[in-house]
Each structure stands twice: as structure tokens, then as C-alpha cells.
């Protein structure tokens, strides 16, 4: 009994520590990258305390954390105190929980629990089921704050997350269909040796849909409507301060890691990469490197794209991503049967045809959804 | 036909270049490092803002010619209210998307409308710097200023910029946005010339008509 407990601790504690410290680093990275994109310098003052060594501002996350800890925790007078307290915790726990399903092969867990922290046959399903709880936390925060902006943010979050969950799951279905298993370890095993699913037309389309939907699921720009600073102040966490705010922040970033980890598992071959035969421990490095590559693209997109309008956001999910992901499942089904023929010509023909179908449908949907853009009309000026 | 999603990649290319070049080129890193380090330690060209503690610096020379932050009212030199271009037509007030402009017309003691604003307030906290007021103004009276230090300790009255604070001379405009000001002056000159030509033509036409009428009358008398 106690051995099992120790096993679990050995498997999970490093996960928590690694991702919590990666969170701190990512906040620094994001601020620095966004600053450079906007021709600014970014945090560059805080380094080692009591010295003038600034280390490119790497001490900034620690300073922010300390500041957050010592800030006054303000709860609005009309707020529902219990749910106001529960919401940030509920935002963090599902994000932390799903990290355990990522197929990270830590060397020290090899002897105890072979691949990931929790081996589960339905890992992918479980992942979506648990990340769905995040919506509840966000709405709980908006509701409990008793603030119109917060409630607006919470309502936007519910609409957005429920809509984007569908293309997210439907694009993951393709990989599950191809592998024939919901087990994350099996999915990774299927992709060893550069057989990543992103290197096929249907896989690429599914990956792009998955990535866009994951941006919306984690409230990242350009889909950051629930926390739109310039529209509804900070949305659902307007009324949060101090460490509760930090918990929301942490939960958001951990969710980013988790969903990027799932994208890496499903489409980018998990820990697959060169040099694995010589050093099996490299798979963790590859896995984290791929997660960081995805996060870097997320930051890059945040520095590039403006925020969508609410109707554009919902239209994009229901009128573009949903039909495309359903069609993609059909294409992938035919492609799987074509691949069973084991003939190179048939495979090539399948690739060309499916690429044409997917691209044609995407641009067709784009044309259908295109609204007419007119120059601004002035009402009173001549 | 352009590639699907190509605009996103185009934008990403722009931001990537900004990111990379900010490490190499000064014009891609326009922020001044107001450091606590002594001046000698600073790289060449990096400013020392603020120069002294507590100093308020809204130096429009530190920003580029293309900086537009907040509207100002133009006058053509001399006593501001005598040469102000604004005639209080209230077009900008009506077009302003966040409705941050408030205008009252000016009347003389007989209650006759004189073409200038009695009140012209813009709320800094509401203005979104969209420049639509500049676009719609038929009199080239309102243009964008590049002054950026608008913070104030008073969050009610202090954030409402009054007419007299908004008034800036055309010379100042030439100083901060030379190209735009020159183009605007030229446009105004052309418009003025056209207007005068039209006026002259109308006057001549009226004169000709009067002469004709007079001649007809003379003929009628002769008959």
C-alpha cells in the first residue's frame, strides 16, 4: 500500500515541480518576446537580489510571485465568498490533473510505472472530460464575483469553450481512429520513427484545427475574449487579487502546457526524435522541446493577431472548423482503408486527392463565410 | 487567389522581423531605457528619461513623425481664439465613436452665432485615438498631437482636456508632423484657391447678368 503511494509520489511530484517552474520561465519568455515584437525591451531589471546583476530580468517571475503572495486578498462585498474561493482552485486542479496523462517517459519512473504517471486506456477521453471542468471554474469565478464585467467574461467563456471543444475533440478522433486506441502510450508508440500524424494531409488539417481550438480553449489570443482587457477589464478575474489571481494565472499556463502536450502526443510523435536509441532519456527532452515550440507559436500569434469579435469567434467555430473537422474524419477514414492496400501508388493518389478535398473545402467555406467589407460610412460628415 | 490563411503568415513574418531585428538595430527598439545606471554606462543613443527624479517629460521630439496620440485644435498663430479654425460645426462630436468630444457654440452679446467653439472638451479616458475626428473635419481644424504624457493626479477634472489646452498653433503642427502639415497646408491652399475662383466666377456671372439686365432695360426704355 505504502509502496504504491511512493510510486505515485515519485511519478507526480516531479511533474508538478517541472511544470510549475516552466510556468515561471514561460511568463518571462512571453513578456520578453512580446516586448521585442513591439519594439520594447521587456523585463530586464530584476535579477539576483541585493546586486546589480540583472540576468536579462530572469528574476522577474520570482519577484512577481512574492508580490502576489503578499498582496491583500480582496473579496467584493456582494460576492459569494465560498465560490469566489473555490473557482481559482477548480481552475488549477483539472489542469494539473491532466498532466499525469501525458506520455512523458521519465527515466526514474521506468522501473516503477513504465511510461506515464497514470496509465489509463481511455487517457484521451479522460483528458477531454477533465479539461471540460475548466469552463465551470471560469463561469464560477464570473458568477461569484458579482460584477457585470466578470459575469460577461464568464458567459463569453462558456460560449467559446463549449463551441471550440467540438472541433477539438473531432480532430483528435482522427488519430484515435488511425491507432485504434485511446491510450496515450499506444498513440506515441504508433508514431515512432518519424511516422508523425502531422505529416499527412488529414493529420495536418486535424493538427491545425486542434491547435486553433486549443488556443480558444485556453483563452489565448486571438481568442482571449473572456478576459479581454480592453473590453471587459479582465473578464472573469476582474475581482481577483493576490494569490487567487496567481492561481488563475498558473492554471491558465498549466492548461496551455497540458493541451500542447496532448497535441504533441496526438500529432507530433510524443517523445519521438533523433538520438533516442543511444539515450532513451532524451524522449523527455524532445517532448518538452515540442511543447515549448508550440507555446512559442502561441506567444508569437499573441504578438501578431488582434482579438476577434464575438460573432466572428462563434462563426469561425460553427461555420468553418466544425464542417471541416467532420469532413476530415471522412477523408481520414477513406485514407486509412487506402493505406491498408500497401501500395505506393494508391497512397500517393490518396494523398493528392485528400489534400485537394481538404484545401478546396477550406477555401470554399472561407468564401461562403466571407462577409462584405465596406469602408466606414460617415453619418454626419458629407 | 491568395492562399488560405496567408494573411496570418504575412503578419507573423512582420512580427518575426521585429523580434529578430530588435536585437540588432536601434530603429527596431525604440523604447528608451530609463535606467538607474549612470549615463556613461548607457549605449550610444539610448536616452536618459526622465532626466531627474520627478521630472515630467512629454517631449514630442523623442517620438517619430508618425506618432499620433490625442487630438488638438489648430489655430493660425497670434491670439488663439481669434484665428482658431474650428467653427463648432459639431461633425466630429457626432462622428466620434466613443463620444468623447463635447462642443458648445459661441454667441456674441446679441445672441448671434460667431463661428468658434465656446466649449471644446475631450475626455482623455474615453478617447481611443482613432483619428476619425481628423478624417471628418471639413475645416482641417482638428489634428492629432504626439504628446503622450497625459497622466494626472485628478481622475475626474484632470482627464477632461479643455479648449484652451487643446489649442495649438499651426507652427507647432509643422514641428511635430512636418510632412503631414505641409500636405494639409497645400490641400487647404488648393481648396481656398478653388473657392476663390468659384467666387470670382460667380461674381463675374452676376456682374454679366446685371449688365445684361441693364442693357435689356435700356433697350426696353429705348423702345
Q: Assign 3-class secondary structure to chain A.
A: CHHHHHHHHHHHHHHHHHHHHHHHHHHHHHHHHHHHHCCCCCCCCCCCCCCCCCHHHCCHHHHHHHHHHHCCCCCCCCCCHHHHHHHHHHHHHHHHHHHCCCCCCCHHHCCCCCCCCCCCCCHHHHHHHHHCHHHHHHHHHHHHCCCHHHHHHHHHHHHHHHHHHHHHHHHHHHHHHHHCCCCHHHHHHHCCCCCCHHHCHHHHHHHHHHHHHHHHHCCCCCCCHHHCHHHHCCHHHCCCCHHHHHHHHHHHHHHHHHHHHHHHHHHCCCCCCCCCCCCCCHHHHHHHHHHHHHHHHHHHHHHHCCCCCHHHHHHHHHHHHHHHHHHHHHHHHHHHHHHCCCCHHHHHHHHHHHHHHHHHHHHHHHHHHCCCCCCCCCCCCC
Please judge whether B136 and A380 are an interchain contact, meaning their C-beta atoms are less than 8 angstroms apart.
yes
A376 against A182, higher pLDDT = A182
Q: Which residues are within 8 A (CB) of A28 and not within 5 positions of it... i.e. 6 or more apart?
A: A43, A57, A58, A60, A61
So what's the pLDDT on residue A50? Answer: 72
The 10s digit of each residue's pLDDT in A204-235 is: 999 999 999 999 988 888 888 888 777 788 77
**CA count, 13 A, side-chain hemisphere, A310:** 12
Q: Which residues are within 8 A (CB) of A284 and not within 5 positions of it... i.e. 6 or more apart?
A: A104, A105, A106, A107, A271
Closest CA to A362 of A205, A212, A216: A205
Task: Taking residues A30-42, report their average pLDDT.
Answer: 87
List C-alpha distances in Å: A359 to A371, B4, B5, B12, B179.
20, 8, 11, 21, 46
Structural domain includes residue B128: no
Q: Would the pLDDT of A43 be above 60?
A: yes
Q: Would the pLDDT of A178 be above 90?
A: no
Structural domain includes residue B44: yes
Mean pLDDT, chain A, rounded, equals 84
Task: Taking residues B159-178, report their average pLDDT.
Answer: 88
Q: Would the pLDDT of B39 be above 60?
A: no
Q: What is the domain count for chain A?
A: 1
A303 near B CB under 8 A? yes
Structural domain includes residue B95: no
So what's the pLDDT on residue A181? Answer: 86
Residues of A numbered 323-382 whose beta carbons fall under 8 angstroms of chain B's beta carbons: which are they? 359, 362-363, 366, 376, 378-382
Residue A132: all three cell numbers together: 471540460
Task: Taking residues B183-195, report their average pLDDT.
Answer: 91
Share of chain A above pLDDT 90, in %: 15
A304 near B CB under 8 A? yes
* Chain B interface with A: residues with Cβ < 8 Å: 1, 4, 8, 11-12, 14-16, 18-19, 22-23, 28-31, 33, 91, 94-95, 132, 135-136, 138
Mean pLDDT lowest among A194-198, A304-308, B134-138? A194-198
Nearest-neighbour CA in chain B from A10: distance (Å) = 40
Q: Which of B5, B17, B22, B191 to mutate to test the interface with A (most CBs of A within 10 A)?
A: B22
Strands B142-145 and B70-75, how do they pair?
antiparallel
Closest CA to A328 of A189, A124, A175, A162: A175
CB contacts < 8 Å between A and B, how many? Answer: 57
B146 against A281, higher pLDDT = B146
Please judge whether B136 and A301 are an interchain contact, meaning their C-beta atoms are less than 8 angstroms apart.
no
Task: Taking residues A325-333, report their average pLDDT.
Answer: 91
Supply the pTM of this predicted model.
Answer: 0.72
So what's the pLDDT on residue A59? Answer: 83
Mean pLDDT lowest among A140-149, A304-313, B28-37, B152-161? B28-37
Structural domain includes residue B112: no
Q: Would the pLDDT of A381 be above 50?
A: yes
So what's the pLDDT on residue B51? Answer: 46
A371 against A191, higher pLDDT = A191
Nearest-neighbour CA in chain B from A381: distance (Å) = 6
CA–CA distance, B170 with B182 (Å, rounded to integer): 10
Structural domain includes residue A372: no
Structural domain includes residue B140: no
Structural domain includes residue B45: yes
Structural domain includes residue A137: yes
Please tell me which of the candidates A40, A304, A376 has its beta carbon nearest to residue B12.
Answer: A304
Residues of B in contact with A296 (CB under 8 A): none
CA–CA distance, B103 with A319 (Å, rounded to integer): 45
Q: Look up cell 497645400; give the residue.
A: B186
Mean pLDDT, chain B, rounded, equals 81
Q: Would the pLDDT of B43 be above 70?
A: no
Structural domain includes residue A373: no
Structural domain includes residue A47: yes
The 10s digit of each residue's pLDDT in A74-110 is: 888 888 889 988 999 988 888 888 888 888 776 665 5
Mean pLDDT lowest among A98-102, A164-168, A213-217, B61-65? B61-65
So what's the pLDDT on residue A294? Answer: 93
For B29, the domain range is 14-57
| DSSP code per residue over B165-207 | HHEEEHHHHHHHSHHHHHHHHHHHHHHHHHHHHHHHHHHHHHH
Helix, strand, coil tally for chain B in percent (to 5): 45, 15, 40
Taking CA–CA distances from B132, the nearest residue in chain A reads A378
Q: How confident is the model at residue B38 (pLDDT cuts 50, 70, 90)?
A: very low
Q: What is the domain count for chain B?
A: 1
Please judge whether A300 and B15 are an interchain contact, meaning their C-beta atoms are less than 8 angstroms apart.
yes
Q: Are A258 and A117 in contact (CB under 8 A)?
A: no
Cβ burial A151-190 (10 Å sphere, 16+ → b, else e): bbbbbbbbbbbebbbbbbbbbbbbbbebbebbbbbbbbeb
Is the previous residue joined to B50 through a cis bond, with omega within 30 degrees of 0?
yes
Please judge whether A378 and B136 are an interchain contact, meaning their C-beta atoms are less than 8 angstroms apart.
yes
Residues of A numbered 40-99 whose beta carbons fall under 8 angstroms of chain B's beta carbons: which are they? 40-41, 44
Nearest-neighbour CA in chain B from A43: distance (Å) = 11
Please judge whether B8 and A304 are an interchain contact, meaning their C-beta atoms are less than 8 angstroms apart.
yes
Structural domain includes residue A89: yes
- Residue-level length of chain A: 382
- Residue-level length of chain B: 223
CA–CA distance, A42 with A63 (Å, rounded to integer): 15
Q: Are A243 and A249 in contact (CB under 8 A)?
A: no
Structural domain includes residue A252: yes
Structural domain includes residue A123: yes
Task: Taking residues B176-183, report their average pLDDT.
Answer: 88
For A210, the domain range is 2-367
Q: Which residues are within 8 A (CB) of A266 and not within 5 positions of it... i.e. 6 or more apart?
A: A124, A172, A175, A187, A197, A207, A210
Q: How confident is the model at residue A350 (pLDDT cuts 50, 70, 90)?
A: confident
Please tell me which of the candidates B8, B19, B132 has its beta carbon nearest to residue A36.
Answer: B19
Q: How confident is the model at residue A369 (pLDDT cuts 50, 70, 90)?
A: confident
Taking CA–CA distances from A303, the nearest residue in chain B reads B15
Amino acid at each position: 500500500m505504502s509502496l504504491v503511494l511512493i510510486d505515485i509520489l515519485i511519478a507526480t511530484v516531479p511533474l508538478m515541480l517541472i511544470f510549475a517552474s516552466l510556468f515561471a520561465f514561460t511568463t518571462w519568455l512571453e513578456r520578453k518576446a512580446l516586448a521585442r515584437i513591439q519594439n520594447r525591451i521587456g523585463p530586464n531589471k530584476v535579477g539576483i537580489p541585493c546586486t546589480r546583476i540583472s540576468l536579462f530580468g530572469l528574476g522577474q517571475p520570482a519577484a512577481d510571485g512574492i508580490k502576489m503572495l503578499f498582496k491583500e486578498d480582496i473579496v467584493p462585498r456582494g460576492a459569494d465568498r465560498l465560490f469566489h474561493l473555490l473557482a481559482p482552485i477548480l481552475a488549477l486542479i483539472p489542469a494539473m490533473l491532466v498532466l499525469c496523462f501525458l506520455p512523458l517517459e521519465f527515466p526514474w519512473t521506468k522501473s516503477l510505472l513504465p511510461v506515464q504517471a497514470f496509465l489509463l486506456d481511455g487517457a484521451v477521453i479522460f483528458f477531454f472530460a477533465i479539461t471540460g471542468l475548466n469552463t465551470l471554474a471560469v463561469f464560477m469565478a464570473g458568477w461569484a464575483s458579482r460584477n457585470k464585467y466578470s459575469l460577461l467574461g464568464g458567459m463569453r467563456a462558456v460560449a467559446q469553450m463549449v463551441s471550440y471543444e467540438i472541433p477539438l475533440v473531432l480532430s483528435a478522433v482522427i488519430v484515435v481512429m488511425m491507432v485504434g486506441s485511446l491510450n496515450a502510450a499506444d498513440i506515441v508508440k504508433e508514431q515512432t520513427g518519424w511516422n508523425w500524424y502531422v505529416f499527412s494531409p488529414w493529420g495536418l488539417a486535424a493538427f491545425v484545427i486542434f491547435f486553433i481550438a486549443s488556443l480558444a480553449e485556453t483563452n489565448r489570443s486571438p481568442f482571449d475574449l473572456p478576459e479581454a482587457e480592453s473590453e471587459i477589464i479582465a473578464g472573469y478575474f476582474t475581482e481577483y487579487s493576490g494569490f487567487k489571481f496567481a492561481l488563475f494565472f498558473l492554471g491558465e499556463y498549466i492548461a496551455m502546457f497540458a493541451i500542447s502536450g496532448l497535441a504533441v502526443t496526438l500529432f507530433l510523435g510524443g517523445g519521438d526524435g533523433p538520438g533516442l536509441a543511444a539515450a532513451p532519456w532524451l524522449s523527455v527532452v524532445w517532448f518538452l522541446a515540442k511543447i515549448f515550440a508550440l507555446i512559442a507559436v502561441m506567444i508569437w500569434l499573441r504578438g501578431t493577431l488582434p482579438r476577434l469579435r464575438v460573432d466572428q469567434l462563434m462563426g469561425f467555430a460553427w461555420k468553418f472548423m466544425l464542417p471541416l473537422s467532420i469532413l476530415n474524419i471522412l477523408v481520414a477514414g477513406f485514407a486509412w482503408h487506402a493505406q491498408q492496400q500497401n501500395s505506393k501508388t494508391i497512397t500517393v493518389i490518396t494523398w493528392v486527392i485528400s489534400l485537394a478535398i481538404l484545401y478546396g473545402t477550406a477555401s470554399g467555406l472561407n468564401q461562403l463565410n466571407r462577409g462584405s467589407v465596406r469602408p466606414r460610412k460617415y453619418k454626419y460628415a458629407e | 487567389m491568395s492562399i488560405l490563411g496567408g494573411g496570418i503568415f504575412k503578419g507573423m513574418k512582420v512580427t518575426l522581423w521585429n523580434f529578430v531585428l530588435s536585437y540588432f538595430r536601434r530603429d527596431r527598439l525604440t523604447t528608451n531605457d530609463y535606467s538607474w545606471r549612470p549615463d556613461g554606462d548607457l549605449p550610444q543613443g539610448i536616452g536618459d528619461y526622465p532626466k531627474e527624479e520627478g521630472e515630467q517629460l512629454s517631449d514630442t521630439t523623442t517620438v517619430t513623425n508618425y506618432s499620433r496620440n490625442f487630438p488638438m485644435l489648430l489655430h493660425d498663430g497670434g491670439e488663439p481664439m481669434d484665428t482658431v479654425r474650428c467653427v463648432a460645426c459639431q461633425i466630429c462630436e457626432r462622428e466620434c465613436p466613443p463620444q468623447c468630444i463635447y462642443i458648445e457654440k459661441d454667441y456674441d452679446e446679441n445672441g448671434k452665432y460667431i463661428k468658434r467653439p465656446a466649449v471644446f472638451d475631450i475626455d482623455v479616458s474615453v478617447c481611443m485615438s482613432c483619428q476619425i475626428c481628423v478624417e471628418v473635419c471639413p475645416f482641417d481644424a482638428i489634428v492629432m498631437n504626439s504628446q503622450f504624457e497625459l497622466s494626472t493626479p485628478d481622475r475626474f477634472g484632470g482627464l477632461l482636456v479643455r479648449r484652451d489646452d487643446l489649442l495649438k498653433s499651426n507652427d507647432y503642427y509643422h514641428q511635430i508632423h512636418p510632412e503631414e502639415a505641409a500636405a494639409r497646408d497645400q490641400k487647404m491652399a488648393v481648396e481656398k484657391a478653388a473657392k476663390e475662383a468659384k467666387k470670382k466666377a460667380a461674381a463675374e456671372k452676376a456682374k454679366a447678368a446685371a449688365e445684361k439686365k441693364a442693357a435689356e432695360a435700356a433697350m426696353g426704355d429705348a423702345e
